[in-house]
Amino acid sequence: MQKSNLIVILGCTATGKTNVAANMASQVNGEVISADSRQVYRGMDVGTGKDLSEFNIDGKVIPHHLIDIVDAGEEYNVFEYQKDFLNAFEGIQQRNNKAILCGGTGMYLEAVLKGYRLLNIPENVELRKRLENKTNEELLAELTTLKKLHNTTDSIERHRLVRSMEITVFEIDNKNLINDYPKIEATIFGIKFEREIIRERITKRLKQRLKHEGMIAEVEGLIAAGVDPEKLKFYGLEYKLITQFLLNEIDRPAMFNQLNIAIHQFSKRQATWFRKMERNGFKINWIDGNLPLEEKVDKIIRHCE
């Protein structure tokens, strides 16, 4: 396990990737870092597939990170995710354990794997005031002295031109911060099923969560705890449609049918994102999801030796 300092296990929803990651971690002294944009929220458990029991392997709790770190209803973005990932990754490195990144949120995965720091660059009030009376041509001329332009729309739309100036000035003034990104050598694995099998797994899991796992009660509880229903709708999928059902905006059959379709569409978007990652040069070693769990874990471990 010395070739890489990060093992990535990705896949579409309902592929069982967390189970693979946790079982692998139990064998290699590993810690799992979640790459799921909704599992960061406390109280959003059933709808996000946050089964923490999967991290209990033979009575041992596998260390896991970036799950339950934000209250439901709060905002959390990819900039914060990258910062939190790097903190977790550094701690794992210091403990001489193996870091395993696991999830299906493509934007979060790429925030780690592209290897440069993302910055939520603030508005520069002083700079904007200085640029107020400049023409677009003058702004473009000044920007051209600072960087090579690739996006021609910067010279067409004033607000984009000003924002580009803002970003460029920030990057010039903060080179050390931007370039201060740890060297990550990642080996990427993907859990893959045929599309029809994925469809069956999604529908079966949805029925299970609605009938036996209390997914509707979970959303009721979030609303009762004071989470704004509009915020829940913003989280999409289960939280959007169940909230609509609870507000009597749709009936139960419509909720199920629309949710089933929406999750299938979400899964297809995930698959499209992973294909785009491959086109952009990320090597994903695909593993047949139909293999027994032990065999999937063994394949990953042997590949990394």
Contact at 8 Å (CB) between 10 and 43? no
| pLDDT, average across residues 259-282 | 97
Q: What pLDDT is attached to residue 161?
A: 87
Tokens of 249: 């905006």
> Whole-model pTM?
0.86
List the domain boundaries for the chain.
6-117+181-304, 125-173
**CATH number given to 6-117+181-304:** 3.40.50.300
Tokens of 88: 């977790």
Tell me what percent of the residues of the chain surpass a pLDDT of 70: 95
Query: Tens of pLDDT along 148-197?
Result: 765 554 456 788 889 888 988 988 887 776 667 899 999 999 999 999 99
Q: What pLDDT is attached to residue 103?
A: 97
